[in-house]
Structure 1
Amino acid sequence: MSREEQILKIKATENWDCIIIGGGASGLGIAVDAASRGFKTVLFEGNDFAKGTSSKSTKLVHGGVRYMSQGHIGLVVEALQERGILAENAKHLFRNQSFVIPNYNRWKGYYYAIGLKIYDLLSRNLSLGKSELIRGSKVINILPNLKKANLSNGVVYHDGQFDDSRLAINLAQTAIEQGATILNYFKVIDILKDKHGKNEGVIVIDDETGEKYHIKSKCIINATGIFTDRILKINDPTHKKTVVPSRGIHLVFDKSLLNSNYAIMIPKTTDGRVLFIIPWHDKVLVGTTDTPVKKKTLDPVASKSEINFILQNGAQYFQRPPKKEDILSVFAGLRPLAAPRKNETKTKEVSRNHKIIVSDSNLVSIVGGKWTTYRKMAEEVVDKSILLHNYKNVRSRTKNLPIHGNVKETQTFKEKRLNVYGSDAKYIKEFEESNILYSKKIHVNYPFTAGQIVWAVRYELARTLEDVLARRVRLLFLDAKAAIESSRFVAKVMAKELNKDATWIDEQNEEFKKVAEKYVIDYYYE
């Protein structure tokens, strides 16, 4: 999966069946769907895959328990079905996670138990396990740091957990295996039109070399998330706002906060949202918030009030509540919500369902949605494009298409860091053993190795220090200070592989630190 090979393919291809703009969950899913149907497909991502919202989720594949109370049953059913499909097609990334809703009011326990039984039924044959009402004493046994006073009972239920940016990389690999051409750091700067005003291609620029390419296709799909309006504006300068961004933040703590393999779901915070407290990669992830914002940026920054909100709501449930000093990483993402209708004033009230928009020039844009339903969204977008351009009607294959790394059965490797690689794990281990440098750890407190860094460059299209430390091995999300401490060593390993000099190493370190400092809690309380 080398960048050079991908560039040669765009140079050698005169016309494409499908151009996709955006390399997040939606764009990559569309690339897999289109390529697997036999369409000549190319995807351009202006930054790294999943650089924006798609790497900053709550790491859940779920139906959305709260959507039931809002009456969005269809959305819940679809998401639960998609959860089951991902569980089969990406076993190496999917985990059946047990959740507990702790109740300090007996009757609320019965209320949630009934609701979650309906949730089980909606899962049909793809259920991950039955929900049950348990006594307060059992809740404490499985969640020893939970507050005991007045605890009446708990409801246990099951949902899916995954690693978002790792799935993005695997989707890119899958798309390439299906014949697609996939490139990061290629930015679309213009859309070409024929004499009738219909789209006929794009102009893209290679961010690394500055070289421009004219890529021809009448089918152009805009899957740029929070930047959907930017592409729509390039396509039509009179375009008006389609996407309303909402910021969600997460805090990461040591696993001792939970001291359990169970997660906690708090069904109603002080602002009416759901709060999740989840074990993830030997840490604990807590989130999220829902804050309307005006500025659209790839690197949104949490606010002090949002951090305090999560700490305060979490503190109500723990004997030893989390403190700001315990936070290992803070990350924020922007949800690309479809612009609300007149009667919708709060972002948490805006439907998480997706919308497909077709412009007069035949630009197809996908707006909204979430990771859980990325596959179904992609299928619908490709179906729409087939009808729009009168392409051969080939049915989607992705329901039963294994994603790169998938294994026959769920596997757990002795070295936990290898679990996310699935079927590639044995090759990475062999790769590390082939060179003494490759087995060297990048940080004394974490198991990630230099071999994983080289692997990310050679086989996962990693181009920058941030690509590796944020989205290939996830260290920035797990422990921001450790990521900064390991950055120079990682840059040196990458520089050797990419044939870069000392200046590149210095530049990468400076660029990475500018991003990484906003993941460190000290940034917010200095």
Structure 2
Amino acid sequence: MNREQNWKRLSGETFDVCIIGAGASGAGAALDAALRGYRVALIDRGDIASETSSRSTKLIHGGVRYLEQAVKKLDLAQLRQVRHGLAERRTVLRNAPHLAHPLALMTPVFSAFEGLYMSIGLTLYSYFARHDAFPKGRWLNRAQALERMPTLTPQMHSAVLYYDGQFNDARYALALAHSADEAGAAVVNYAAVTGFKHDVNGQLTTATAQDQLTGETVAIRSKLFLNCTGPYADAVRRMANPALDPRIRPSKGVHLVLPRETLRSDCAILIPKTADGRVVFAIPFGDKVFVGTTDNDYSDLNHEPVLEPQEVDYLLDTLRPYLAKTPDRADVQAGFGGIRPLIVSSRTDTKALLRDHEVEHDPASGLLSLLGGKWTTYRLMAQDLIDQVGQLLSNPAQSATETHFLVGGENYQFAAWQTLQQRYGLPADSCQHLMRTYGNRAERVAQLILEQPALAQKLTASQPFLQAEVIYQVREEMAMTLRDVLARRWRLELSDWQLTAQLVPQVGDLMAAELGWSEEHGRQQVRNYQSLLASFVKQAGLTPERSEMASV
């Protein structure tokens, strides 16, 4: 992806669709539209997937909670969500096998009745997923459960095991955008829409976008404009038509991050019901465990949602009954928050609001808005949206995304890491990381080492990250800031604030050389990012001594 070339395309072409928002739904819609032959622009005011889509629980699932509600309330709409989710789970894993894989989850239970209840539900869940190649779930006795996860509480009666999908959300969205780019879309990050122009009939004709890195503005001409901005959708809707009523009720969800030793297992824990009726997961991700999520109203959309002290306590307290030894605040190494785009409903509880999606067409302005939804069904959401685009353009075409491999996914073989190691002499952990991160394009990263042998060095001995990756991410993946690399191209910011702060200067030097930053600009970028990381520690109520941020 070449941002400079794509920026020039924004002013030099007239598009069929201009998609605003490059998260899961926007990037998915861009790929769908480009594969159908439409002329596509995809822009985002920040980085690709810099908001909600990179801050999920990293699960691809039909929704065990939806299934329970469907059965209890005989709610066919909830049941459809489960069936669609499970069907799309298979597609998500197939199209980017380097970024998604099956994950075992266990639910410890404290009585035979509870175990029977969970087993019946998960048997039904497995029935709906019977066409998948996932392992089958089963009811484990206490000894079997402890063998799989030694840190579970001995107070449990037994545990129920089932399987869902896990994925790298930020890189999956990036693969969608990258694939759209290669299919012909003009993809530009850090391009914020500041206004629209209308024709005499009130229909949108042009969007004014400002480059958030240079301040330059551009007029984007398009037949249709698609609003895929998730929790920020109402702002774009009202920019296009101030008479529209709000449709989104934002909900904040946070995760905290603990050491991998918390579980000592490749399995995750599903906590099916908390004291206030939510569902919480403890999930291994890399060398950490993510615990979340919360679900609370959130109105301050101008500020990034962050982990707060009461949320740390809530998640640790929720985990406590399920582990023999509960981690304490000193064990928390990072955290992250996201905002769910719940569609407004007459119900008052955010846990009960509909999570399904809706395609809204505003006839007064012509704006199409994709509202609500979830990661698992991003492809169906995009397909519904682009189906409507075809109707409005009087040029319908069939979607081709169900069987389209994303960048890095085609002919992927994880075992190819051994070839990388033999050919380039890189550490085994780095080669495995390259395959899981870049898929069949891993060798393109390694080839940079032939040009500059110093790029074969790791940034730190404890992690597999190579210097060559930073150069590749700038040249091929449109990484423009330090956070693009450390929070999204890699997921280090999400998992370890302290280590991230330590690596910022090294990454800054590599990016400065590649992007032509001045010495002062590079230093300022490093200072700003380290200050941001320190603010996360402070806002979470963690002690500076624990984080050692003050000394970085």
TM-score of the aligned structures, taking structure 2 as reference length = 0.92
Q: Residues of 1 paired with 2:324 and 2:453: CA distance?
A: 46
Would the aligned equivalents of 1:190 and 1:203 in 2 still touch at CA under 8 Å?
Answer: yes
* Mapped pair 1:490 → 2:507: yes
**Residue type matched to 1:403 in 2?**
L
Would the aligned equivalents of 1:83 and 1:372 in 2 still touch at CA under 8 Å?
Answer: yes
Mapping 1:21-36, distance limit 5 Å? 21-36=20-35
Q: Residues of 1 paired with 2:487 and 2:134: CA distance?
A: 30
Once the two structures are superposed, what CA deviation does each residue of 1:125-160 show, in whole Å capped at 9, x if it has no partner? 1252211111111001111011112x2211110000
Cα 1:51–1:487, aligned 2, differ >3 Å: closer, same or farther? same
Q: Residues of 2 paired with 1:430 and 1:463: CA distance?
A: 21
Mapping 1:187-266, distance limit 5 Å? 187-266=192-271
Q: Residues of 2 paired with 1:352 and 1:54: CA distance?
A: 14
**Residue type matched to 1:319 in 2?**
A
Runs (5+) with no aligned partner, structure 1? none
Deviation at 1:297, TM superposition (A): 3.7
- The answer for the alignment partner of 2:311 in structure 1 is 306
**Residue type matched to 1:286 in 2?**
V
Deviation at 1:76, TM superposition (A): 0.5
- The answer for the alignment partner of 1:140 in structure 2 is 146
Runs (5+) with no aligned partner, structure 2? 71-77, 418-427, 544-552
Deviation at 1:518, TM superposition (A): 4.1
Q: How many residues align?
A: 521
Pick aligned residue for 2:119 from 113, 117, 129: 113
Once the two structures are superposed, what CA deviation does each residue of 1:10-66 show, in whole Å capped at 9, x if it has no partner? 2431x1111000111111000000000000000111111111111100000001100
Would the aligned equivalents of 2:482 and 2:504 in 1 still touch at CA under 8 Å?
Answer: yes
Cα 1:298–1:165, aligned 2, differ >3 Å: closer, same or farther? farther
Cα 1:156–1:433, aligned 2, differ >3 Å: closer, same or farther? farther
Deviation at 1:522, TM superposition (A): 7.7
Secondary structure class of the residue paired with 1:405 = coil
Deviation at 1:285, TM superposition (A): 1.0
Deviation at 1:369, TM superposition (A): 0.6
CA RMSD of aligned residues (A): 1.5
Mapping 1:441-520, distance limit 5 Å? 441-520=458-537
Would the aligned equivalents of 2:206 and 2:220 in 1 still touch at CA under 8 Å?
Answer: yes
- The answer for the alignment partner of 1:420 in structure 2 is 437
- The answer for the alignment partner of 2:60 in structure 1 is 61
Segment of structure 1 superposing worse, 301-310 or 436-445: 436-445
Would the aligned equivalents of 1:433 and 1:439 in 2 still touch at CA under 8 Å?
Answer: no
Mapping 1:303-452, distance limit 5 Å? 303-341=308-346, 344-359=347-362, 360-390=364-394, 392-409=395-412, 411=414, 413=417, 414-415=428-429, 416-418=432-434, 419-452=436-469
Secondary structure class of the residue paired with 1:160 = strand
Cα 1:377–1:289, aligned 2, differ >3 Å: closer, same or farther? same
**Residue type matched to 1:256 in 2?**
E
* Mapped pair 1:103 → 2:109: yes
Cα 1:297–1:56, aligned 2, differ >3 Å: closer, same or farther? farther
Deviation at 1:410, TM superposition (A): 5.1
* Mapped pair 1:126 → 2:132: yes
Deviation at 1:399, TM superposition (A): 0.5
Would the aligned equivalents of 2:255 and 2:337 in 1 still touch at CA under 8 Å?
Answer: yes
Secondary structure class of the residue paired with 1:348 = coil
Cα 1:269–1:88, aligned 2, differ >3 Å: closer, same or farther? same
**Residue type matched to 2:409 in 1?**
N
Of all paired residues, the percent bearing the same amino acid is 34
- The answer for the alignment partner of 1:84 in structure 2 is 90
Deviation at 1:298, TM superposition (A): 5.5
Once the two structures are superposed, what CA deviation does each residue of 1:227-257 show, in whole Å capped at 9, x if it has no partner? 1111111111233221111111111111111
